[in-house]
Structure 1
Amino acid sequence: MTDISYTERGSRGSGAVKLILYSLIGIFVFFVPVTIGGKSTIPLDHAATAIVTHARPAAIAFVCLLIAYGALAPFVQGTWRGSVTGTIFSFLRVLGAVLAGMYLTGVGPAELFAPDMLPFLFDKLVLSVGLIVPIGALALGFLVGYGLLELTGVLVQPVMRPLWRTPGWSAIDAVASFVGSYSLALLITDRVFREGKYTVREAAIIATGFSTVSATFMVIVAKTLDLMGSWNLYFWTTFFITFIVSAITARMWPLAGMEHPADRDAPLPADRSRLQAAFDAGLEQAAIAKSLPATLRENFLDGLRMAAMILPSIMAVGLLGLLAAKHTPIFDVIGLLLYPVTWIAQFSEPMLAAKSLAAGLAEMFLPAILLKESDLALKFVAAVVSVSQVLFLSASIPCVLATTIPLRFRDLLVIWYVRTALSILLTAPVAWLAVSMGWLS
């Protein structure tokens, strides 16, 4: 008995060390600004910038390999025929690879080589995403792999049902979706839904309300809009706005009317306070987690696969979106639906704001690209809305449609509009306050 108790104490002690030490490392990498060479930003951004600056040829070669893999893999694996959307995006990734080749060889129409076209997409977005996502995937191993999410999930269980109409155990899913990969998060949500632990309404709320781009992608948006000097303000504003909007949309059509036979909440373990249960959950995860090298290897490979799928899409959908914004009225038309919202928000150029924010439907980066020269308040709103809208055609919408959750394309368009409008109205006052108080830099 003594030996067993000693073993258990040792296991809990080891788990506690992992939980505390690895979580602190993850928090430091993602949330603690460090000044290096006169530039203050988070360590993750410093690492990616250093590689681009000091090893640019190697970075370009690395990114090109990812793009080639992302373009070829669906055809080699045969997944391009899985669905209509899958087929469309498989060919778009091929187009993205061709565009990357055109840019690097200097072959193609002069218009595509304008500073805000292929050069911007490749140099400012693709290079950054291609490095930050795999590096960020490594860092996420510390943040999400050793109990911090489980601990946080148990602590916030009491607010999940009242605020977001989802069961207590969805807290882990929700937080993991925000700080991790939306594609992986959607796979988790779909799996739990197929196991019967989520109702249709709960699965739809989580898929459209929490499965947004990860913190690593938020770094790209902040860099594009020169907001890294206010990273923590941006991150936490986006975090809270995203979840506030999700709480509202959960009570609106079409989500509110979806099938929901009954609540399915798990009770708190007997004879344990919530804080005790939270630490137990964190320690249990830390104790059973894979070794650090195995976790880092697995996360890095996931990051490579994710980057490979996203990079050619950014090139293709990003360019098509920029060309559409420049030469067609499509975003003007969609922007008309958002114009009343941007007018209420009191932007100096409400129609420009509406048109640019509407472009987020095509690709979440487009508002950042189109508004990178705007005033500080509008750039901050664009940065938040790009993330809190959750849904966009270049990636997340096809991922949602690929799950077994019965969400129609029409439903997703309605949810996108409602989320975008609410995000603008909620973020604008924060932006004006931050500017007036000197919090934005």
Structure 2
Amino acid sequence: MTKSTAVNPKNLLKFILGSAFGVLMFLVPIPQGDSFTTLLDFLKTGLKNLMGVSMNYIIVGILVVSAVMGVIDMVFKPDFIRKNTYLSKAFHTTPFYLGSKILGAIFACMIVFGFGPEAVTSADTGVTMLDLCNTLLCIVVSFSFILPFLTDCGIMEFLGVLLRPVVRPLFHVPGRASVDLIASWFGASNAAVILTREQYMKGFYTKREAGYIMTNFSLVSIPFCLMIANTVNVSHLFPSFYLCICLVGIILAVIGIRIPPISTIPDTYQEKTGKQINEDLPENTKLLPYALEMSCQRAEKFTLSKILSSGMEVVVGMFFDLVPVVMAWGMVALMIATYTPVFQWISYPIGLYLQLFGVEEAFAVAPAALIGFTDMFIPALLITGVESVKTRFIIGVLSLVQIIYMTEVGAIIIKSEIPLNFWKLLIIFLERTLIAIPLIVLFANLFL
């Protein structure tokens, strides 16, 4: 192999300093009270606190503008939208998604200005979704211009080459996917899903790899796991609680890539960008020098203008295209979960399944085992009155390894270009639930 000119002082500095900044912001845990957070999460929380109640009106403005501009694009097809990269990404859409945007705008107006039925404006539905959209907005603002330091400075190429011999045979994904997993563990699952989507769009994951990573690697953060443990009153068992989450999560990931619907997704790259990744080690090449070469080649292309352009594209797309859909679908899901007996009706088979494995109060907690499909926090709220510590432990862990939460990551996955629709996500959710329950029960019996 000819000696690469990419490994030079300038590119090494870009790789080391840029990647260090990205890792510091996304991955390094910072102590915060009894738990810890990341600088990115600290920035997100600070921004949310700074904006205060004005965030609600910003959400309304964004959703109304998105709906109105979507209608203008659909009806008049103006060139100033269709021929502009940012505006077409934000407002050019299909009739179904336009309907979702209009519905999201209506919901937001009803919640913020306090009119309409209680099913929309209550704390369990509207207020919860508005707070979630505020958080999502702050996440997007916080990381859009910082994300390139983690993805484009070479650290993903460096780790990808080094970890490929382990990650590829075990999970059938590139080694760089390990960065997504770490970002989710210490940050937020929706941020990790957005990171994966952007990597797919840039040609670093195939459709199957991106879909698999989104539905298996996007675990919720450790601080949120601690919050769930506190909510279900098993915080005194947190080491065992989190160890169980990790063990079950790894087993589910190993199984998930090998069964439908993930295994049936085309293993092809995004059509416009094609394959932009190479982690294979050439013959007669040492691992560490090759990892350094790949990282420097990536860092060579890293410029300030690319940070600004890619960051702005993410911000505009997320603001006007994603947030309205999250509001619309999240509201519908929460209203069904909160104000209808649907989950009581459909959870009876899960009650039998839990009973089969000796779970105490099986039928009482069965709705909580399914309602996690709508939102990750609702199961914990439903089981606070359950007497059995082991049952609370089991359902608490289950709610955190199911991953497919429509209000958090489900809407983002569906809105991405990955071929995973609502029904496929539902199937994945049920697969994870059915496989996880006996595993969690086994570990609970061993740990408690």
Which residue number in structure 2 is paired with residue 138 of structure 1?
145
Q: Is the 8 A contact 1:391 1:412 kept in 2?
A: no
- 1:74-89, aligned counterparts within 5 Å? 74-78=70-74, 86-89=94-97
Local SS of the residue matching 2:402: helix
Distance 1:29 1:175, change over 3 A: closer
User: Which of 213, 218, 222 lines up with 1:210 in the alignment?
Assistant: 213
Please give the per-residue CA displacement for 1:29-70, whole angstroms capped at 9, x wherever unaligned.
233343568884322232222233333144334333333344
- Following superposition, the deviation at residue 14 of structure 1 comes to 2.4
Give the AA of the match of 2:376. P
Q: Is the 8 A contact 1:208 1:391 kept in 2?
A: no
Question: Does 2:109 align with 1:101?
Answer: yes
Alignment RMSD (CA, Å): 4.7
Local SS of the residue matching 2:20: helix
Which residue number in structure 2 is paired with residue 319 of structure 1?
331
Which residue number in structure 2 is paired with residue 126 of structure 1?
133
- Following superposition, the deviation at residue 318 of structure 1 comes to 2.2
Please give the per-residue CA displacement for 1:138-176, whole angstroms capped at 9, x wherever unaligned.
33222222111111211222234432345xxx4446755
- Following superposition, the deviation at residue 285 of structure 1 comes to 1.0
Give the AA of the match of 2:110. M
- Following superposition, the deviation at residue 382 of structure 1 comes to 1.8
- Which sits farther off after the overlay, 317-326 or 246-255? 246-255
Q: 1:325 & 1:244 partners in 2: Cα distance?
A: 29
Question: Does 2:87 align with 1:91?
Answer: no
Query: What is the aligned length?
Result: 405
- The answer for unaligned runs of 5 or more in structure 2 is 75-87, 184-190, 268-277, 385-391
Which residue number in structure 1 is paired with residue 188 of structure 2?
none
Distance 1:259 1:93, change over 3 A: closer
Which residue number in structure 1 is paired with residue 120 of structure 2?
112
- The answer for unaligned runs of 5 or more in structure 1 is 437-441
Which residue number in structure 2 is paired with residue 383 of structure 1?
400
- Following superposition, the deviation at residue 252 of structure 1 comes to 2.8
Which residue number in structure 1 is paired with residue 61 of structure 2?
65
- Which sits farther off after the overlay, 299-308 or 234-243? 234-243
Please give the per-residue CA displacement for 1:370-417, whole angstroms capped at 9, x wherever unaligned.
534645744454233235999976342454xx55x6x78765543332
Distance 1:354 1:14, change over 3 A: farther
Local SS of the residue matching 2:124: coil
- Which sits farther off after the overlay, 102-111 or 412-421? 412-421
Q: Is the 8 A contact 1:133 1:217 kept in 2?
A: no
Question: Does 2:165 align with 1:151?
Answer: no
Local SS of the residue matching 1:65: helix
- Following superposition, the deviation at residue 99 of structure 1 comes to 1.3
Give the AA of the match of 1:422. I
Question: Does 2:339 align with 1:332?
Answer: no
Which residue number in structure 1 is paired with residue 85 of structure 2?
none
Q: 1:73 & 1:409 partners in 2: Cα distance?
A: 26
- Which sits farther off after the overlay, 12-21 or 342-351? 342-351
- Following superposition, the deviation at residue 95 of structure 1 comes to 1.3
Q: 2:414 & 2:332 partners in 1: Cα distance?
A: 17
User: Which of 287, 291, 294 lines up with 2:300 in the alignment?
Assistant: 287
Q: 2:432 & 2:37 partners in 1: Cα distance?
A: 29
Q: 1:342 & 1:218 partners in 2: Cα distance?
A: 26
Local SS of the residue matching 1:419: helix
Q: Is the 8 A contact 2:404 2:425 kept in 1?
A: no
Give the AA of the match of 2:125. M
Distance 1:396 1:40, change over 3 A: closer
Q: Is the 8 A contact 1:26 1:143 kept in 2?
A: yes
- Following superposition, the deviation at residue 215 of structure 1 comes to 6.9
Give the AA of the match of 1:164. F
Distance 1:352 1:397, change over 3 A: farther
Q: 1:110 & 1:178 partners in 2: Cα distance?
A: 39
Q: 2:148 & 2:243 partners in 1: Cα distance?
A: 21
Question: Does 2:428 align with 1:415?
Answer: yes
Q: Is the 8 A contact 1:138 1:299 kept in 2?
A: yes
Which residue number in structure 2 is paired with residue 358 of structure 1?
370
- Following superposition, the deviation at residue 248 of structure 1 comes to 0.8
Which residue number in structure 2 is paired with residue 310 of structure 1?
322
Which residue number in structure 1 is paired with residue 377 of structure 2?
368
